[in-house]
A and B are shown apart, each in its own frame.
Chain A
Amino acid sequence: MLSRRRLTRRQNSRRTKRISKAARERRNGDRYMGLRTSLAIMTAKLLSFACKVAGRQGVTMAGKIAMKIDPDILKTLSSQVKGDIVVTCGTNGKTTTNNLICSAFESEGRKVVCNHTGSNMLMGVAAAFVLAARVSGKLDADNAVIEIDEASAKRVFPYMKPDYMVLTNLFRDQLDRYGEIDITMNLLQEAIAMAPDMKIIVNADDSLSSFLAIDSGHPYVTYGISEQVFRRKDENEIREGQFCKKCGSRLVYDFYHFSQMGVYRCPSCGFRRPDVDFDVCNVNLQGGLSFDVSESKSKIHTEKLPLHHISANYRGFYNIYNILACYAAAKTAGLSMEHFDQMIAAYKPEFGRNELFHIGNSSVLLNLAKNPAGFNQNIASVMEDESPKDIIIVINDNAQDGKDISWLWDVDFDRLQGPSIRSITVSGIRCQDMRLRLKYVGMKTDLIPDVKTAIEKRLADGCGNLYVLVNYTALYNTHKTLGEMQARSEASAGKPAGKKDQGKEAGS
């Protein structure tokens, strides 16, 4: 089906050529359009350059101006992509998953358009294409791998028709911006219906994402983790989608991995976790990640393919899902996978995701968490490290964070207790709320609103193993502060500055 579509795309472009040759007026129109496209690209590139010089991130602005000059620019450019277009949607793990998929394509020598920085609304997507295009209006790209904000997909799809959508998971996130999760699901549903030929690569362990994929009537493949990894039982954990999306009955779970991820079925209507095409087993979380992927060749053939072993030098159980989603997407899109393992081994998480800094004799691990599911995963990952540690939690409530910070009470912060926790410091604009959150689970904290001061203080009096957990707008400045501290510390130690190590276990 795919090859037929590709043919159609080529045929389309041939048809356009013929018509434009035949109609003089139309050709003039095209020329005018071409000029407009060029102008849009040029202006956007200049703007982006100027922003870079000024030390600012101008991606969204560049996309905005380009679309203002040429409203069809995303369509013009994305239709020039020679091969498949993959989009990544879902609440958590989008950026990591998408960048991994991009790397998988690149590792096979493909030229890929990708919104690496995570600018994932319409303007950010447009910018990724515009900045990759030539001023002539030509885009030389084999593939596009694009992450899209759940609410923005239906704004992007009129201009760009993806071949594949990777759907990672759906959690509550910034209720004041996105509204309830049902609203997000409706928006995604509308978007999926706009791209009727798109195949969905979906996380089977999430009942909400799976429901969307199955309900859409689109072809889909699934990935998941069918073995139970954690024995912990916590009945108070906030979980989405406890009730069947199809009939409203309570779902029955064999087990949970975290949040609502797990193996589920509906006792009333028969809705259940779909069969898993790419299934993980033999999970080992000690000192990095190690697991095997088994693949059912097709639903008809039951023969088992050999297990594919994957090990990665970064941690956090959730990263298994990110790598697995990438594996499933790459396989489904027909990559040879020859360089997949090297790619995973060499992959550097983007900044603020398990990023390690060395300052003096201390190691500092910076990790972003934006919503309860993400925060719970980060806490689990912190607690996997059994050595003594200090913790700083930075909470802001700027528009991009969500002005409503009531989600702090949906995070299981009480799991941050134990003999290895030396101190907890709360910082950022809403440090007061964070302090209260911990007070009500009986945890003592030190309140230092200014992030830099907080880090300096804990570096001075802490145990040398510091974790900094931040939400979105706190990330940039905290990252910058830590980077500067590391550079200064290396300079005074006579080491070359700017070298940094990512993704490794702190304290190792």
Chain B
Amino acid sequence: MKITIGHLYPDLLNLYGDRGNIQCLKMRLLWRGIDAEVLRFGIDDPVDFTKLDIVLLGGGSDREQMIVCRRLQNIQKDFKAYVEDGGTTIAVCGGYQLLGHYYNTPDGKMEGLHLVDLYTEQGSPRLISNIVLQNDLYPYPVVGFENHGGRTYLGKDQKAFGKVLFGSGNNGKDGQEGVIYKNVIGTYLHGPLLPKNPHVCDDLLLRAMRRKGYSDDLAPLDDHEEKEANDYIVKRFTGKS
């Protein structure tokens, strides 16, 4: 089996070590003997979603996000069809905001992709912190770093990616972080997200592989370094292990 990972606009959306997420997805496939291919899409390249198994949409500066947002409207229909068909997507920071209906800033309203029922309003101050989440799907917490001015609000039927144990999350108010919709995960967590959260990485891989008809579990890997790095953050910021 081969898994194809599409990295959308790494030239513009490459803040906060997004490269690490790509590297993590790729290596955890290769270590299991599964073929992996990474396609990097430039802003003018056509994107054929039918060829992709995992899509990564990263974060950029507001200005860069604005450029991307204009172009994204051209692929909105195909992206929507991919998501509705169960296509696996991981969207981080700015990419997460773009999944929703809009991002309202004092400089204007950025039209989102309308892929997931959520919207974002700019707020002050920026929410900048290490962050720890709990999600009962996973055997241990999800850790990362958040740095966002936007306050994101989920539509009433949407499920969050996690419950905030430390940090601010979507909007600093409702104790929720991120979103999971079908096989889409949207989150403010970078750090980057996946290397210190191999359980999330494997979850994404498995979602993509199931869509291709794979029915087994993933072969376990030696994750003691990942777990130790995760555990360090959990202990340091929540006092628990």
B196 and chain A: residue at smallest CB distance: A436
Q: Does A407 lie within 8 Å of B225, measured CB to CB?
A: no
Selected interface stretch from B18-26, B83-91, B154-162, B176-184: B18-26
* Extra 15 A-B pairs, beta carbons < 8 Å, given A180-B15, A250-B11, A403-B145: A176-B145, A182-B63, A242-B11, A243-B11, A403-B128, A404-B191, A405-B191, A406-B17, A409-B18, A432-B232, A436-B226, A437-B20, A439-B225, A440-B20, A440-B27
Q: Which of A180, A182, A406, A439 has the most CB of B within 10 A?
A: A406
Shortest CB–CB separation between residue B30 and chain A, in angstroms?
10
> Which residues in A have their C-beta under 8 angstroms from that of B24?
440
> Which residues in A have their C-beta under 8 angstroms from that of B15?
172, 175, 180
B227 and chain A: residue at smallest CB distance: A432
Q: In the complex the two chains form, what is the Cα distance from A342 to B128 in whole Å?
A: 47
Q: Does B130 lie within 8 Å of A403, measured CB to CB?
A: yes
Binding site for A on B (CB under 8 A): 11-12, 14-20, 23-24, 27, 42-43, 61-64, 67, 126, 128-130, 145, 147, 190-192, 195-196, 225-226, 228-229, 232
B128 and chain A: residue at smallest CB distance: A176
Q: Does B17 lie within 8 Å of A180, measured CB to CB?
A: no
Shortest CB–CB separation between residue B113 and chain A, in angstroms?
20
Q: Does A175 lie within 8 Å of B16, measured CB to CB?
A: yes
A242 and chain B: residue at smallest CB distance: B11
Q: Does A407 lie within 8 Å of B19, measured CB to CB?
A: no
In this assembly, does A193 line the interface, its C-beta being within 8 Å of a C-beta of chain B?
A: no
Q: In the complex the two chains form, what is the Cα distance from A144 to B23 in whole Å?
A: 48
> Which residues in B have their C-beta under 8 angstroms from that of A437?
20, 195
Shortest CB–CB separation between residue B90 and chain A, in angstroms?
15
> Which residues in A have their C-beta under 8 angstroms from that of B226?
436
In this assembly, does A219 line the interface, its C-beta being within 8 Å of a C-beta of chain B?
A: no
Given contacts A410-B17, A437-B20, contact A180 B196 (CB under 8 A): no
* Number of chain A residues close to chain B: CB under 8 A: 31
A–B complex contacts, Cβ < 8 Å, 24 sampled: A172-B15, A175-B15, A180-B15, A236-B19, A238-B19, A242-B12, A243-B64, A248-B67, A403-B128, A404-B147, A405-B145, A406-B16, A406-B17, A406-B191, A406-B192, A409-B17, A409-B23, A410-B14, A432-B232, A433-B229, A435-B225, A436-B226, A440-B27, A442-B27
Q: In the complex the two chains form, what is the Cα distance from A405 to B229 in whole Å?
A: 13
Q: Does B196 lie within 8 Å of A408, measured CB to CB?
A: no
Q: Does B62 lie within 8 Å of A182, measured CB to CB?
A: yes
> Which residues in A have their C-beta under 8 angstroms from that of B43?
250
Q: In the complex the two chains form, what is the Cα distance from A406 to B147 in whole Å?
A: 11
Q: In the complex the two chains form, what is the Cα distance from A407 to B18 in whole Å?
A: 9
> Which residues in B have their C-beta under 8 angstroms from that of A432?
225, 228-229, 232
Interface positions of A from 167 to 203, Cβ below 8 Å from B: 172, 175-176, 179-183
In this assembly, does A441 line the interface, its C-beta being within 8 Å of a C-beta of chain B?
A: yes
A235 and chain B: residue at smallest CB distance: B40
Neighbour of B16 across the interface among A404, A436, A442, CB < 8 A: A404
Q: Does B20 lie within 8 Å of A407, measured CB to CB?
A: no
Q: In the complex the two chains form, what is the Cα distance from A182 to B63 in whole Å?
A: 8
Shortest CB–CB separation between residue A172 and chain B, in angstroms?
7
Q: In the complex the two chains form, what is the Cα distance from A404 to B23 in whole Å?
A: 19
Q: Does A433 lie within 8 Å of B196, measured CB to CB?
A: yes
Q: In the complex the two chains form, what is the Cα distance from A29 to B92 in whole Å?
A: 59
Q: In the complex the two chains form, what is the Cα distance from A99 to B185 in whole Å?
A: 49
B70 and chain A: residue at smallest CB distance: A248
> Which residues in A have their C-beta under 8 angstroms from that of B18?
409
Contact with B along A381-408 (1 / 0, CB 8 A): 0000000000000000000000111111
